[in-house]
Amino acid sequence: MHTARTLAFASTALALAMLAPMPAQAQATFAHARDAGTLSFGYLPGARPLTWRNDSGAAEGYAISLCRLVAEAVRLQLKQPGLKVEFVPLDEDPAAALAAGRIDMSCTPMQATLTRRASVDFSIPVMPGGTGILVRKNVSPALRNLLEGRKPGAQPIWRGSPQLAALQQRDFAVVPGTASAKLLEARRQEIGVNFKITPVTSMAEGLARVVSGKSDALVSDRNVLMDLARNGQGAGDVMVIDREFDPTSYAFALRRGDEDFRLLVDRVLSRTYRTGKFEQLYATHFGPAGESTRMFFRRLAEPD
């Protein structure tokens, strides 16, 4: 009897919960945009190639292009073709600006950590991430094969493996204090190879060392390296190894609990990923997408 009453109570509570009005925050983005006549998208102006501010002060980047597609979908949803879109440069954590209500969405993608998810929600990923390695195009085949994870024959690479000799006395440049620097040091200790780690103060300095031959490689966020390999000083002489270390993904941060807006964003991204237009957009900022990149986005696209 007690169990029956408990089940009945739970059933009633569930029904009431389903009939209850949605929290005010759930409609916050559409309601704010409709009332203000403006959609506010925050971005970090120094996060090239994802988001940055150009010489005329306008927002640019791969993620900005995706945000413009989201804005167009909001205009259609609200039937407000004249809805303004404001790109707000931020000098603070975008998640904090979003949680405080200063923006409607962060166009600078970020990793959806558990800590951030306590205050904001996230779209489906918009970009793969992780540490990458930039080298000269004339890098030795032995070093390139090793860095790309190509294993001659069926021999696994282990501590003491003969393939690791290609790393001996090599010089790897990295900005200290970054996740890439920590990964590089941990990897050196793990495999027990005596390669050199040279700290650099900037990505430009690291690139210059690789181009001049002072360093064999520059280690950093792979997306940043891909931009350097296309637009940096001496870009024609370098390339990014076709491999990601500690792979992760980045997504747009949205107002927490705003399910209708998140559905719209995910719908826009999913439909975009399935079109040839997306490959053009990606190529504009990163160069032609490889097969692994195309597969990454195909897997992300949700069906209609």
- pLDDT, averaged per 10 consecutive residues of the chain (304 residues), comes to 42 39 58 92 92 94 96 95 95 89 94 91 93 92 81 52 71 91 88 87 94 94 89 88 85 94 96 89 87 87 89
Residue 89: asked if its preceding bond is cis (omega within 30°), the reply is: no
Whole-number pLDDT of residue 159: 55
Contact 239, 135 (CB under 8 A): yes
Whole-number pLDDT of residue 162: 57
**219-239 b/e (C-beta count within 10 Å ≥ 16 → b):** bbbbbbbbbbbeebeeeebbb
**Residue 109 three-state SS:** strand
Contact 249, 128 (CB under 8 A): yes
- In the sheet with 46-47, reading across from the earlier edge strand, the strands are 46-47, 51-53, 59-60
DSSP-H helix ranges across 156-258: 179-191, 203-212, 222-231
pTM of the entire predicted model? 0.75
Contact 143, 167 (CB under 8 A): yes
Whole-number pLDDT of residue 157: 53
Question: Tokens 């490889």 — which residue?
Answer: 290
Whole-number pLDDT of residue 154: 45
Question: What is the DSSP code (8-state) at residue 21?
Answer: P
C-alpha 73: how far from chain center: 22
Whole-number pLDDT of residue 161: 60
**Residue 248 three-state SS:** strand
Secondary structure element (H or E) that encloses residue 268, with its range = helix 259-273
Question: What is the DSSP code (8-state) at residue 159?
Answer: T
CA pair distance 32, 214, nearest whole angstrom: 54
Whole-number pLDDT of residue 69: 96
Whole-number pLDDT of residue 158: 53
Closest CA to 102 of 117, 88, 120: 88
Whole-number pLDDT of residue 109: 94
Q: Phi, psi (5° rounding) for residue 190?
A: -65, -45
Whole-number pLDDT of residue 145: 82
Beta bridge partner(s), residue 196: 171
Whole-number pLDDT of residue 23: 43
Closest CA to 106 of 118, 122, 117, 119: 122
In the chain, the amino acid numbered 117 is R
